[in-house]
């Protein structure tokens, strides 16, 4: 009889890639979703970690049961097995091998989940930097708009002054002709 443990893969890598992506054109929405996505993948990482702990516990239990059975079988057959002999028998047992494979797979899933949460930390940093860059660009655009408005106002003021001076000169010229 070989025991099997079905390891659950908590992460859909294609969905994770879509969740990590964002458009600079929709930065506000990406920032609003960041916390919930980080929490979602953090929960997945915790589930994957729990799964590793569960598989470790089951592996230890399986090894102990197989060890006990192998020892009893050997004693019934009149053998006096050493600890090293029993350890070798336990290591080759199909149930133990299957549980070790499940542990390896569970650890890989846990590593993937931890990588996902780290990727969302990097995404947060990138969003912050993108937001900062966008604010600086907006400040620059605002400064240019203010400067342009100031230059236009000064130009209009200068044109109005010249127009008034020209009008005064016409009035003075017309006043001196009538006299």
Identify the pLDDT of residue 28: 85
Intervals of the chain under pLDDT 70 = 1-3, 141-143, 146, 178-179
Identify the pLDDT of residue 22: 86
Torsion of CA 132, 137, 139, 141, to 10 degrees: -170
Identify the pLDDT of residue 163: 85
Which one-letter DSSP state was computed for residue 160?
H
Look at the pTM and tell me if it is higher than 0.75.
no
Q: How many of the other CB atoms lie within 10 Å of CB of 59?
A: 19
Identify the pLDDT of residue 178: 67
Using alpha carbons, list the distances in angstroms from residue 17 to 22, 105, 115, 119. 10, 21, 12, 10
- 78-89 residues labelled b (16+ CB within 10 A) or e (exposed): eeebeeeebeeb
Give the distance, in angstroms, between the CA of residue 33 and the centroid of all CA atoms in the same chain: 11
Identify the pLDDT of residue 156: 83
Identify the pLDDT of residue 62: 96
Q: Tell me: the pLDDT tens digits for 78-108?
A: 999 999 999 999 999 999 999 999 999 999 9
User: So where are the chain's domains?
Assistant: 13-132
Identify the pLDDT of residue 143: 63
Identify the pLDDT of residue 3: 56
Identify the pLDDT of residue 179: 61
């Amino acid at each position: 009889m070989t025991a099997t443990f079905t390891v659950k893969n908590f992460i859909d890598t294609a969905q994770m890639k879509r969740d990590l992506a964002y458009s600079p054109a929709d930065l506000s929405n990406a920032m609003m979703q960041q916390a919930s996505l980080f929490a979602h993948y953090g929960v997945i990482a915790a589930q994957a970690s729990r799964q590793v702990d569960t598989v470790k516990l089951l592996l230890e239990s399986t090894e102990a049961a197989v060890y006990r059975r192998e020892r009893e079988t050997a004693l019934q057959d009149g053998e006096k097995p050493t600890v090293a002999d029993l350890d070798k028998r336990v290591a080759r047992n199909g149930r133990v091998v299957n549980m070790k494979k499940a542990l390896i797979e569970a650890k890989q899933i846990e590593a993937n989940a931890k990588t996902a949460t780290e990727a969302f930390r990097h995404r947060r940093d990138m969003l912050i930097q993108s937001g900062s860059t966008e604010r600086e660009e907006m400040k620059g655009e605002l400064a240019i708009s203010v400067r342009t408005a100031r230059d236009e106002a000064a130009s209009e003021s200068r044109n109005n002054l010249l127009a008034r001076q020209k009008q005064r000169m016409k009035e003075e010229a017309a006043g001196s002709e009538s006299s």
